[in-house]
Amino acid sequence: MMKPTMGQGRMLLAILVCMTLPLTAQFQAPLEAESPEEFDLYLTVEETADAATVAARSEAFRRRYPTSKLLPRVWELRYFALQTLGKAGEARIAGEEALRLAPGNLSVRAALAVQLASEDTRLAESHARAVLEELDRTKVRRTVPLETYLATAAKLRGQARVALGVALFRNGDAAGALRELEEAYRLAPEAGVSYRLGRLYAALGRTDEARKRLREAAGAADPVVAERGRAALAELR
């Protein structure tokens, strides 16, 4: 199979980024490799599904190309891989580095806000509000399908609301937390949100609502969320 030329490689890279970052790519500097070798090594990170392999290859890429224009994307991939592996400390470092390299990366900023909500409420709130403010200013590019934009924006807004809800609860504002988590569920009714909302309903004594949301979480495709949902349901009984 013939390797792409540099021009073809750059086009392929643009396609990959548009496919994986339909919204946040709007805020990023153009991603370009300086050589075919750099591009090939980048693809070994981008095209790998295994989180442990992504973590290892992203570090290898950074060591070989420490000033690469591809590092913002590579470090984003590293952040989410480390999250998947449950390495919260390393993930936080990777997420902060990804944002240093590309402050407009809303996917990383929203996910980091959720992660930090249980660790550093002030910083989590700052990241969450930055996501919401940036989305309010965003104008959709013609290259991004409207449906794709709306779905991505809803997910990012939902993550920001989850972060705010968790932070508010940890700061003693249960009513504010409920408001944010219910809005997060309205925006993106995912299993992880169902779990958090169910736990909050349970803490507030709203057992029927808690059971409904926790059953959704217990049926999640993600085994970690599903197990937490089942455990929380058992506590209600």
Residue type, 49: A
Q: DSSP class of residue 25?
A: G
pLDDT value at residue 29: 52
Please report which residue ranges of the chain form alpha helices under DSSP H. 6-20, 36-46, 51-64, 71-84, 88-101, 106-116, 121-137, 146-170, 174-187, 191-203, 207-218, 223-236
pLDDT of residue 6: 44
pLDDT value at position 12? 45
Stretches in the chain below the pLDDT threshold 50: 1-22, 27
Residue 56, pLDDT score:
97
Q: Cα–Cα distance between 98 and 89 in angstroms, integer?
A: 14
pLDDT at position 27, please?
47
Return the DSSP state at 23.
T
Task: Provide the residue ranges of all domains of the chain, joining segments of one domain with +.
Answer: 189-237
Write down the pLDDT at residue 236: 87
pLDDT at 144: 75
- Confidence at residue 11, expressed as pLDDT on a 0 to 100 scale: 41
Nearest to 26 by CA among 163, 147, 135, 156: 135
